[in-house]
Structure 1
Amino acid sequence: MIRLPGGTFRMGSDRHYPEEAPVHRVTVDAFWIDRTPVTNRQFRDFVRATGHVTVAEIAPDPKDYPAALPHLLHAGSLVFRPPDYPVDLRHFSQWWAFKAGVNWRRPYGPGSSIKGLDDHPVVHVAYADAAAYARWVGKDLPTEAEWEFAARGGLDRTEFAWGEEFAPGGRQMANT
């Protein structure tokens, strides 16, 4: 883990997703944060020790979703599906698709696996799964403000966490 001293920064964006606006000044106290995301190996150790079952591995109860279409009431998760044409960014369904059978062990669905990916970040975990893991290792999850402060690496007043340019030198810096 690394201890960040805290500070004040501009959080959010007025130029991207509506839920990120408005940009506002936020102050965070000093905090500790892991240097890297939780890996498949670490999460597997947690699951083996606790028997935890992730949200993506549990089929939704139809009583909780009376208007849901039956074909969507399966255990699964959303998978990024990059469109090859411009899409309306107000509708996530334009680039994310629900897929049954997708979870942290099978990141692309039935037939896929994390074999050979022990040191890769665990994926398809919900907030409840991350919180359970954090409790197990005796840590806390960062707040949204702490995470953005850490992700900015000391940069403030930049459009992106890495600077002003969307793709510096033609290099994609985010999953867009």
Structure 2
Amino acid sequence: MVHLPGGTFTMGSESFYPEERPLRRVKVDPFWIDETPVTNAQFAAFVEATGHRTFAEIAPDPKDYPGMDPALAQPGSLVFRKTPRPVPLNDFSQWWEFCLGADWRHPTGPDSSIAGLDDHPVVQVTYGDALAYARWAGKSLPTEGEFEFAAKGGHEGRDYAWGDDLIPGGQMLANFWQGAFPYENTLEDGFERTSPVRHYPANDYGLWDLIGNVWEWTSDWYAQPQAVEKKKPGACCTIPNPRGGRKADSFDPCTPQVKIGRRVLKGGSHLCAESYCQRYRPAARQPQAVDTSTSHIGFRCVVRG
């Protein structure tokens, strides 16, 4: 782990997506953070020590999901599948498949494995799986503010963690999608999916893979950031250790009948692309239902103090 001194910084962005607004001044207390996302080898040690079964390894109870197809009441998880041709980018079902038998040991389906991927981030873990690991390790999951503070590496005013150019001088500095998403990946970085942790340069805090590779769970419920309250004309407050919204605020408004909370994901993944999802940035954020695991979501841990 790396110890970060905490401090005050500008959280959010006005330049990319509405959910990143408004800019606000935030202060986080000192904390320790894992140098890298939790790897397959680390997660395997946790499973061996505890016997933990991940959410994807347990058949869902149809009672918990009214209207679900009974045929899908089997262990499985979401797997990205590259499409053979261009598809509408407003329909993610074109490239996400619920794959029976997919789990952390079989990240892209029952015929896959993590052999040779010990140093890759573990994926196919829900929020509950990540939290179980963190508690076993005597740690916690980071808040959104802590993650963004760490991802910035001590710098302000940059679009990307390393500056304002996505690929400075033609150098790939994170694992994200190159080409036309979701059917053409030019593999300029050499990776179709996840990459080994520490493959790309660390940021100025000595932390790896806070941008790209895999999205990472945070402990915050997802909500739209609130504008900073004005204390007096021309002055505003700094938000100390922000902790997101309430569970009730996090429900997906597109499916009001589903009362499953959503937590904030940070960091982007190997599926973020210039042509589709420019979320390979410290300010980027995305909601994810706590019962959902995918082939591009992992996590890392923190210890506060």
Q: Does 1:31 align with 2:31?
A: yes
Moved more, 11-20 or 37-46: 11-20
* Structure 1 position 82, deviation (Å): 4.6
* Structure 1 position 69, deviation (Å): 2.9
Instruction: Show the counterpart of 1:73.
Output: 73
Q: Does 1:43 align with 2:56?
A: no
Give the TM-score taking structure 2 as reference length.
Answer: 0.52
Instruction: Show the counterpart of 2:106.
Output: 106
Moved more, 76-85 or 107-116: 76-85
Instruction: Show the counterpart of 1:159.
Output: 159
Q: 1 or 2 for the larger relative contact order (CA 8 Å, sep ≥6)?
A: 2
Supply the AA of the counterpart residue of 2:11. M
Supply the AA of the counterpart residue of 1:10. T
Q: Does 1:134 align with 2:144?
A: no
Between the two proteins, the alignment pairs up a number of residues equal to: 175
* Structure 1 position 71, deviation (Å): 4.0
Supply the AA of the counterpart residue of 1:3. H
How many angstroms apart in 1 are the aligned matches of 2:94 and 2:79?
Answer: 11
* Structure 1 position 41, deviation (Å): 1.3
Q: Does 1:120 align with 2:149?
A: no
Give the TM-score taking structure 1 as reference length.
Answer: 0.85
Supply the AA of the counterpart residue of 1:61. D
Supply the AA of the counterpart residue of 1:26. V
How many angstroms apart in 1 are the aligned matches of 2:76 and 2:53?
Answer: 12
RMSD: 2.3
Q: Partner of 1:27: helix, strand, or coil?
A: strand
Instruction: Show the counterpart of 1:63.
Output: 63
For residues 82-101 of structure 1, the aligned pairs below 5 Å read 82=82, 85=86, 87-88=88-89, 92-101=92-101
How many angstroms apart in 1 are the aligned matches of 2:14 and 2:72?
Answer: 34
Q: Which ranges of structure 2 fall in alignment gaps of 5 or more residues?
A: 177-269, 273-305
Rate the CA distance shift 1:78–1:10 in 2: closer, same or farther, 3 A: farther
If each structure's helix is expressed as a fraction of its own residues, which one has the higher value? 1
* Structure 1 position 101, deviation (Å): 1.4
How many angstroms apart in 2 are the aligned matches of 1:23 and 1:10?
Answer: 6
How many angstroms apart in 1 are the aligned matches of 2:37 and 2:141?
Answer: 11
Supply the AA of the counterpart residue of 1:48. E
Moved more, 28-37 or 18-27: 18-27
- Percent identical: 61
* Structure 1 position 96, deviation (Å): 3.4
* Structure 1 position 28, deviation (Å): 0.8
